Amino acid sequence: MQFFMFHLMPWPDVPEDFDDLSKYPSAWVTLSNRYYDPVKGHQLYNTYLEQLEYAEQLGFDGACVNEHHQNTYGTMPAPDIIAAMLTRRTTRMKIAIVGNALPLRDHPLRVAEEIAMLDVVSGGRIISGFVRGIGNEYFSMGINPTYSQERFTEAHDLIIRAWTEDGPFQFEGKHYRLRYVNVWPRPMQKPHPPIWIPGFGSRETVEWCAHPSRKYAYMATYMPEEMIKFFFDLYRESASKHGYEASPYQMGHLIPIYVAETDKLAQEEAKSGILWLYHKGLRLKWEYVFPPGYVSVDSMKRTTANAAALDWAKMDFNYLNDKGYCIVGSPETVRQRLSAYVRELGFGLLLALLQFGDLPHYRVVKNMELFATQVMPKLRDEFRTMQQKWLKAA
């Protein structure tokens, strides 16, 4: 197994009456940036960066950053910038950007260039995630959501070619046209940095990742256990249809985790932050999440039917913890639950969200230390065979 510390870098300081849904229907798009205080932001960014840097000292395999725009949930609109800071403050661990929202960029070659720069500077430690960006971001960035999927695919193809083919070459797509593709620098890792794709319930994405020409790792996010199982099984089935066996390292699970001395203490200490994440940071409006044409009409109908599984506002803390939207407990409880998940779901990459919502720094540090010293080593031991078999294959 491999362990990554995931961070969202939230802005927890929402107005006191934020529970008033009529006043604050969404934490995204329209929540005014007048609630952002740059002086406090200075402190927060640096604290968050220290947490990610500390992950290397504690023996994590890597740190994860991601891209979101114009919201209180996560303040990393430019994840490559955060990755650049980490690159120079760490020496060993991987830095996973999960990911750059390709369709939101007007120039995919900027992504190819930035990732290549980071890979070269870091000595080949970059993992490059690609996402479409969630629906909200098409409102925030003015990009036509009906082209989201085709812009993603086209930008992806262009970036991979820019990393793997000798330039210059000409690229004539529908959305991007370039006479001279000739990216300097080239990435250090061959053929290119590993690619991770966070997913949010689309079957097409899973099948696309599993294709033998890609074999991209698929990350399940904020889903209940049975939904994750469905998508991981689908991944394995797609792989075997293509005649190969999917590795556990082609599947990742992003989940908020909190470890404290006892179950009771863990629940007391984590509750506010977990509820902040699911009730405040993820306060989304259906019309924002699914702008027109963002997914096909048929997918949209399926999603509308499954909406309850992702309607976090209606879930209380115990429900969230019981159903696997988070894992909160003593080291032994968390170890047992994760062990059961890994056995049941068969994934090899754990993306642990160890800071969430308004969880204060001292508790984040305690959480990281308990996780790294009392949970992670035992899981590594337990799944060592998996590690050896598949890492050798990789």
Using DSSP bridges, classify how beta strands 177-181 and 169-172 pair: parallel, antiparallel or unpaired.
antiparallel
CB of 58 to other proteins, least distance (A): 43
Tell me the C-alpha to C-alpha distance, in Å, between residue 152 and each of 159, 255, 277.
11, 25, 28
CB of 308 to other proteins, least distance (A): 14
CB of 190 to other proteins, least distance (A): 37
In the complex with other proteins, the residue whose CB is nearer, 37 or 287, is 287
Rounded CA separation 361/370 (Å) = 14
- Please report which helix (H) or strand (E) contains residue 221, including its range: strand 217-221
CB of 206 to other proteins, least distance (A): 23
Summarize as ranges the residues that interact with other proteins (CB under 8 A).
29, 138-139, 142-147, 285-288, 291-293, 297, 300-301, 304
CB of 69 to other proteins, least distance (A): 15
In the complex with other proteins, the residue whose CB is nearer, 75 or 140, is 140
In the complex with other proteins, the residue whose CB is nearer, 153 or 339, is 153
What are the structure tokens assigned to 263, written together? 């179950």
**Ordered DSSP codes for 286-312:** HHHHS-TTSS-HHHHHHHHHTGGGG-G
Rounded CA separation 268/70 (Å) = 30
In the complex with other proteins, the residue whose CB is nearer, 121 or 300, is 300
CB of 144 to other proteins, least distance (A): 4
Residue 68, classed as helix, strand or coil, is coil
In the complex with other proteins, the residue whose CB is nearer, 313 or 391, is 313
In the complex with other proteins, the residue whose CB is nearer, 139 or 356, is 139
Q: Write down the number of H helices and E strands in the chain.
A: 15, 11
